[in-house]
């Protein structure tokens, strides 16, 4: 999973060096605000065989967390072309590779 984050950071840093509009700027490379239960829910959704071993999910704090931790990453998307993945893509793609390698 961390490899995914490193890839976004590496590409974004390279683009920042290459693009004039990025000179002297600072960018938030944050794709979203999530609570741990959202990750657990996505793992259970795409890996149903793991559901019995996963903790119970309580998504009641998702909206409150998004309100509490607001940020803007428009500049990173616009200036650097950074494309952030959501939880579903992480679960389907990155975690699938992780589980298959074991």
Query: 9-47: per-residue pLDDT in tens?
Result: 788 888 998 999 999 999 888 888 888 899 899 999 988
- Scanning the structure block, which residue is given the tokens 């490379």? 29
pLDDT in tens, 41-93: 999 998 899 999 999 999 898 888 888 887 788 899 999 998 888 888 887 87
Reported as half-sphere exposure (CB side, CA atoms, 13 A), residue 81 has a value of 7
Output the pLDDT for position 11.
Answer: 86
**CA–CA distance, 68 with 76 (Å, rounded to integer):** 21
Give pTM, 2 decimals: 0.67
Q: Where are the domains of the chain?
A: 2-100
Q: Could you count the other beta carbons within 10 Å of the beta carbon of residue 10?
A: 10
């Amino acid at each position: 999973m961390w490899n995914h984050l490193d890839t976004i950071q590496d590409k974004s840093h390279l683009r920042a060096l290459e693009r004039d509009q990025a000179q002297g700027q600072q960018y938030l490379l944050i794709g979203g605000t999530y609570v741990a239960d959202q990750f657990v829910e996505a793992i259970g959704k795409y890996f149903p065989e793991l559901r019995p071993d996963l903790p119970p999910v309580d998504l009641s704090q998702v909206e409150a967390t998004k309100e509490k931790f607001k940020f803007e990453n428009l500049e990173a998307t616009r200036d650097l072309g950074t494309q952030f993945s959501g939880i579903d893509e992480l679960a389907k793609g990155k975690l699938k590779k992780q589980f298959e390698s074991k």
